[in-house]
Amino acid sequence: MKKILYSQRQNQVTLEIDTKQDGIIMGLTNVIKVLLIEDNIAEARLLHEVLKGSTRQEFDLFHEKRLKNALNTLGNQRFDIILLDLTLPDSQGLDSLLPIISQNSYIPIVVLTNMNDEELALEAVRKGAQDYLVKRHITLDILVRSICYAIERKQMEEKLREANQTLEKRVKERTNQLLKAQELNQLKSEFVSMLSHDFRNPLNTILLSAGLLEDSYEQLTREQQLSYFQMIRDAVRDMNQLLSEVLLLGKADSGKLKTNFIELDLKLFCQQIIHSLHLSFEDKNQIILNFNRDFPTELELWDEKLLWHILHNLLSNALKYSSQGGKIFLNIIAEEKSVTFSVKDQGIGISQESQKHLFEPFYRADNVGSISGTGLGLSIVRKCVEAYNGDIFVESELDHGTTFTVILPRQQPLPSKIGESVEQRQSSVSYHESTKRFSS
């Protein structure tokens, strides 16, 4: 049960809703501003006199005769409540109510009606008005009570609306969390399936080659023996590479993939990668390395491991998806604050639809056919570029090749290291030793 208690303390009037369930205390301002929209001047004066007789609450009444003028007034002033006559010179019935609600949904409305308009008034309440009053039955108590109740109900409606919006937001957030969890589970399933498949192939190669060497070693020629040993080494290398990629993705997803800058001769570093790839792909295609004319010759700070993963994956993909004899270009341009790496091939290209998913783990374009791959390479490239605070872009057209562009920020050299020579760096570690570190 609810009861309305009015009290006047230091010119402040409060409206208290006494309920056992919520105990909500609603506040009314010292002066309630009322907008009366009524074309009958006599009835407007009567309502004004009625409200002046209130000793429990002070009202400030503003009168407009037409809906158009009232809407303009609402745009310039703030009111606590609107008293609305549904029969106006420029608007009739619900046509008067709806424009007000659409532009001032936060203001409560009490509809004023004649004896024969009660059905219309009820419909107005269903459309958003808080109450209706029959003009001939209006008294001071009825009018004040209706105004205060209307304000109270509107405040409750607003709180309920805000609560619903908060609930909808939380439901949406929770739904997104569940969807992400489902996607993660799906990703895990795909990962296990892909990993088992990609491990099984090199393991089968190792088992088959080892078995043949064990059972038929004496019957095999020296060339055949070396061939099987090479197959085992290649299979081990492929498994090691796959494990390295998986570990790198795991570090990136857990936020543990950090940069570690050392001084590096970038030209020599790129030449080593290209040399290694030419050996792996048996000079199937030519990689052409270009630097801009004013490219710096001194050592600079680079993350050797991240840069290796970026360039090695992009170049190996270019080799893998290009026809034999095609040319691949690695163009490197140094600017004041960044270095741009561009890998351009003349291969099979990538469709527009596939480009949308290109950097997702395990995703492979729809035109790769039987060309082997895990779908991890470009995902790793993106993770490394992100760890570097760089950018990556792709341009491609089916059957006309692909260009990947990576922009990485340049780092300031360490003063204590500036004196180290290029020769010292070249002799400090071989390329094959460095690739072992990349895989660790």
Q: What CATH number has the domain bearing residue 235?
A: 1.10.287.130
Which of 191, 221, 247 delimits the end of a domain?
Answer: 247
- Nearest 5°: the CA angle 40, 46, 49 is 140
187 and 161 in a single domain? The answer is: no
- Residues 25, 32 contacting (CB under 8 angstroms): no
Kindly state whether residues 187 and 276 are assigned to the same domain: no
Q: Could you tell me which of 347, 351, 353, 338 has the C-alpha nearest to residue 401? A: 347
Residues 6+ apart with CB under 8 A from 41: 65
The separation between CA 381 and the C-alpha centre of its own chain, rounded to angstroms, equals 20
* Sequential pLDDT tens for the chain (440 residues): 333 333 333 333 333 333 333 333 345 667 899 999 999 998 899 888 888 888 888 899 999 999 999 999 998 998 999 999 988 898 888 888 888 888 888 899 998 887 667 788 788 888 888 888 888 888 888 888 889 888 888 888 888 888 888 888 888 888 888 887 777 677 666 666 666 666 777 788 888 888 888 888 888 888 888 988 988 888 887 788 777 777 777 777 777 888 889 999 999 999 999 988 887 777 678 899 999 888 888 888 999 989 999 999 999 889 988 888 888 999 999 998 999 999 999 889 988 888 888 888 777 787 787 776 667 788 889 999 999 999 999 999 888 899 999 999 998 654 444 444 444 444 444 434 444 444 44
Nearest in space to 411 (alpha carbons), one of 314, 308, 304, 330: 304
Report whether 376 contacts 362 (CB < 8 A).
yes
Amino acid 193: pLDDT: 66
**289 DSSP β-pair partners:** 330
Contact indicator for 333, 292 with CB cutoff of 8 Å: yes
How far is CA 365 from its chain centroid? 24
What pTM, to 2 d.p., does this model score?
0.49
- In the chain, how many domains are there? 3
Q: What is the DSSP letter of 135?
A: G
The domain of 393 spans 262-439
Q: Is residue 90 part of a domain?
A: yes
Strand order in the sheet with 391-396: 286-291, 327-334, 338-344, 402-409, 391-396
**Which residue among 171, 206, 231 closes a domain?**
171
Does residue 19 fall inside a structural domain? yes
- Letter for the amino acid at 17? I
CA 196 – CA 240 distance, rounded (Å): 14
| Residue 187 sits in the same domain as residue 154 | no
Helix, strand, coil percent content, the chain, rounded in steps of 5: 50, 20, 30
Residue type, 287: I
What pLDDT, on the 0 to 100 scale, is given for residue 7? 36
- Cβ partners under 8 Å of residue 233, min gap 6: none
Burial class (CB in 10 A: 0-12, 13-18, 19+), 313: buried
Q: Are 227 and 355 within one domain?
A: no
> Would you state the torsion angle of the CA atoms of residues 376, 377, 382, 388, taken in this order, to the nearest 10 degrees?
120
Judge whether 351 lies within some domain.
yes
Three-state DSSP class for residue 218: coil
Within-domain flag for 253: no
- Which residues are registered as beta bridge partners of 9? 12
| One domain, residues 158 and 184 | no
